[in-house]
Structure formats: C-alpha cells, structure tokens
Amino acid sequence: MTTEHVLPRRLYYAVFTALVVLTAITVLAARLDLGPMNSVVALSIAVLKASLVVLYFMHVRYGSRLVWVFVGAGVLWLFLMISITLGDYVSRGW
C-alpha cells in the first residue's frame, strides 16, 4: 500500500514564484560586475533553484528514506565527478 502526499496548489505556486524570482535575480546578477564572485553567485542561485525543483516538483521532500539515500548518492557521485574533472584540469599546467 502506497501513501501519497497531496500538496496544496498554493505550495506549487509559491515554489514556482520563488523559481521565477530567482531567475530574475540570476539575470540581474549577470549584469553586475562582481569580478571573480560572478561564478559563485550564479552557481549558488542555480543550486538553490535545483534544490527547490528536486524537493517539491520531484516530491523528494516527502519521500521515504530510501529516496533520500538515492538522492544523496546522486549528489555524492556528482561531487566526485566534478572533483576528478577539476583535479585533471588543475594538474595540466605541470
């Protein structure tokens, strides 16, 4: 027997509004000259937007612990692949 969370529509509208606002902030941040912080700001906003999508639109927030384990494994694998790629990129100058 499966139980599903029925979420109110206003929650989806609130998350959608947050995504639109964060997109506008991304556009505004792209127009500012923040020097080396441009990438940090853009990636921070992108991670926040991706987290909202995964948590609410993919229903991970109300998922079982097994779902959280698989999401965590995916995030861990992503960081592993990024660190290996950056390690290769940084060591090319030697």
pLDDT one digit per residue (tens) for the chain, 94 residues: 556 677 889 999 999 999 999 999 999 999 999 998 999 999 999 999 999 999 999 999 999 999 999 999 999 999 999 999 999 988 987 6
Supply the pLDDT for residue 85. Answer: 95
Q: Which amino acid is at 16?
A: F
Q: Is 17 helix (H, G, I), strand (E, B) or coil?
A: helix
Instruction: Look up the pTM and report it.
Output: 0.80
User: How far apart are alpha carbons 63 and 48 in whole angstroms?
Assistant: 19
Supply the pLDDT for residue 3. Answer: 65
Supply the pLDDT for residue 94. Answer: 67
- Whether the CB-CB separation of 45 and 22 falls below 8 Å is answered with yes
